[in-house]
Amino acid sequence: MDVFGLLGNPVGHSLSPPMHEAVYEALGMDARYVTFEPAPEELETAVRGAAALGVTGLNVTIPFKEDVLGLVEPDDRAARIGAVNTIDFGTHPPTGHNTDAAGVLRSFAERGVDLNGSEAVVVGAGGAGRATAFALADAGARVSIANRTVDRATALADDVPDATGHGLDVLSERVPRADVLVNATSVGMNENVSPVPTEALHGELAVLDAVYRPLETRLLCEAAERGAVTIDGGRMLLHQGAAAFERWTGRDAPVDAMEQALYDRL
């Protein structure tokens, strides 16, 4: 039996187990997806133990995405982002990957959004913002990063090709001329607020909100009212999970089965 799992603390809220278990059922795999919640000081022991016990692969979530970098061999994108959310124990040494970036790119691709040459605005410079900014830049977008703390935005922009960092005050100026907008903050999670001024939104935008509770955030509702393409945070969660499964197994993920299991719980 193959064992996959999630490494984080806490992990009880995660939707990854039912999403991945749906894959195994759809493909008739003898596999299980389990959660591990080590104390922060036990992270290295947990990763070494998983390798020794023959765990096939692990997803990694808060607060371990950055700390696990030193315990695996990160690929180029994960090293540049500075975070790992997927460990593959089928390699020696175990390799670290960031499928959050793949989740962003696949979410736009399934809606037919061409990122190459686009003007993109990313709100937030935390973990999700970093993955998003690198993903968009790698796809050929020019990225403006807006963050409450300007220094954090400019520091990220220094790492990302063809990117600039700003405070949130530039959203009124940058969003009206942008092609792509991503909210990579938690603003709008379980509250009726938006990180972007309503008047800045327009019908030529493609808007991805990483928040998935609720699926229809205020930002997405206001963008849809103006005719924009809107993408809910469930898509990013779905596609990063599919990319992780494909990394571990070399098999195409049954996205439809994963989608049903995920959205039944959102």
pLDDT of residue 96: 98
Cα dihedral sign, 76-79-82-88: positive
Q: Which residues contact 158 (CB under 8 A, 6 or more apart)?
A: 165
Q: Which residues contact 92 (CB under 8 A, 6 or more apart)?
A: none
Which tokens sit at 179? 């092609």
Q: Say whether both 111 and 156 belong to one domain.
A: yes
Q: How far is it, in rounded angstroms, from Cα 106 to Cα 229? A: 15
Number of domains, the chain: 2
pLDDT of residue 6: 98
pLDDT of residue 90: 95
Q: How far is it, in rounded angstroms, from Cα 251 to Cα 46? A: 27
pLDDT of residue 262: 98
Q: How far is it, in rounded angstroms, from Cα 126 to Cα 147? A: 9
Q: How far is it, in rounded angstroms, from Cα 201 to Cα 225? A: 9
pLDDT of residue 154: 98
Q: Say whether both 199 and 256 belong to one domain.
A: no
Q: Say whether both 65 and 176 belong to one domain.
A: no
| Residues recognised as catalytic | 65
Q: Say whether both 226 and 240 belong to one domain.
A: no
Residue ranges of the alpha helices (H) in the chain? Answer: 16-27, 43-52, 76-81, 99-109, 127-138, 150-159, 171-174, 218-225, 233-249, 255-263
Q: Say whether both 206 and 87 belong to one domain.
A: no
Q: Is 210 exposed, middle or buried (0-12, 13-18, 19+ CB in 10 A)?
A: buried
Average pLDDT per run of 10 along the chain, which is 266 residues long? 97 95 98 97 97 97 95 97 97 96 98 98 96 98 98 97 97 98 96 97 98 97 98 98 98 98 96
Q: Say whether both 10 and 61 belong to one domain.
A: yes
Q: Say whether both 70 and 137 belong to one domain.
A: no
pLDDT of residue 202: 98
Check residue 21 and report its DSSP letter: H
pLDDT of residue 260: 98
Q: Say whether both 81 and 38 belong to one domain.
A: yes
118: domain range? 102-231
Q: How far is it, in rounded angstroms, from Cα 78 to Cα 80? A: 5
